[in-house]
Structure formats: structure tokens, C-alpha cells
């Protein structure tokens, strides 16, 4: 049984979703591509400990005080998707990797397109930093939250822009 809450962020509202075991299984922005139907989020419960923890970590991230998230996650996907998402968490704050580099890290050279598809299905944006993946030529390509949000996140992490925490 899932539950959710909505918190404010520099991107506007973020919907956090937790599973029955109290782990974060979703973080969705308004208008995000591949955002599940609201009914799948479960009832709203603003008092869950995981939501407070995730909210505190996101606030610290947007204040420039946190570079690595430690909130407990429960990511639901295929084994390949979960392997890609695990690789995303290994990309250091302020750095990027190409889809091809991620495919190579997985031992699946030539699977950059499959990596891109898995990256786009990441259910916990920002915390699992799919925004840190770029095209092989350094271009900003695809982001479920929109390229403007991707650019803002990357600029922020590189220290070339600041967010104001609401």
C-alpha cells in the first residue's frame, strides 16, 4: 500500500511516494513525462517519517549543503532498469556521464539507447540523478522533467546557478 505527500521545491511541487515498508519509491515533478496516474500514489499522509527525511535532504540539497542522498529507496523496475538506476547514483554531484559511458559501466557496450530508456523511467528523480546523463557530444538530451529543469539542475550542481529554497 502506497502513500504520498507533496512538498515545495524550487521546481514547484514535488510528489513523494512511499511504499508500505516506509521506503521512498517515487519522486515526481508536475508535468513530468512518465508520471504515473495519481491514483497509484495512494492516500495522502504528510506524517510519514520517510517524507520528513526526504524533504529535509531535498531542502539541504537545494541549499547547496547536501551532495549525496541517504533516504531509503525501493525502486521498482526490471533488473536492467535497476542496474541503470544504481549506476546513476554513482555519478558524482556536479559531474555528468553519457548514455554510452553508462552502458560501458554496465558491461553492455552498444546499449546506450536501452540505457536512455531506463534512465527516462527513473521513478525517483533528483535523488537518483538521471539529470546527470547527457549525449555523447555533451548536449542535453531528454529529461522527463524537461530540458529547462535539467539545465537548471546541472548549472546548480556545477555552481553556476543558485536555487532559492521556498
130 is catalytic: yes
Instruction: State residue 112 phi and psi, 5-degree precision.
Output: -60, -35
Alpha helix stretches (DSSP H) within the chain:
49-62, 79-88, 99-105, 112-120, 147-157
Angle between helices 112-120 and 79-88 (to 10 degrees): 80
| Active-site choice (14, 130, 133, 154) | 130
User: How far apart, in whole angstroms, are the C-alpha atoms of residue 8 and residue 55?
Assistant: 9
Spatial contact of 7 and 127, defined as CB atoms under 8 Å apart: no
Could you give the residue numbers annotated as active site?
A: 130
Amino acid at each position: 500500500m502506497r502513500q504520498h505527500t507533496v512538498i515545495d521545491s524550487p521546481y514547484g511541487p514535488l510528489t513523494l511516494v512511499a511504499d508500505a515498508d516506509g521506503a521512498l519509491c517515487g519522486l515526481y515533478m508536475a508535468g513530468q513525462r512518465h508520471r504515473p496516474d495519481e491514483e497509484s500514489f495512494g492516500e495522502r499522509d504528510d506524517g510519514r517519517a520517510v517524507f520528513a527525511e526526504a524533504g529535509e535532504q531535498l531542502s539541504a540539497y537545494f541549499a547547496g549543503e547536501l551532495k549525496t542522498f541517504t533516504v531509503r529507496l525501493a525502486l521498482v523496475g526490471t533488473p536492467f532498469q535497476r542496474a541503470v538506476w544504481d549506476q546513476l547514483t554513482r555519478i558524482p554531484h556536479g559531474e555528468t556521464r553519457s548514455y554510452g559511458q553508462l552502458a560501458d559501466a554496465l558491461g553492455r557496450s552498444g546499449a546506450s539507447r536501452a540505457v536512455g530508456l531506463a534512465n527516462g523511467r527513473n521513478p525517483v528523480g533528483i535523488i537518483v540523478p538521471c539529470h546527470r546523463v547527457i549525449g555523447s557530444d555533451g548536449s542535453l538530451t531528454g529529461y522527463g522533467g524537461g530540458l529547462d529543469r535539467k539545465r537548471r539542475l546541472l548549472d546548480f550542481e556545477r555552481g553556476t546557478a543558485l536555487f532559492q529554497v521556498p
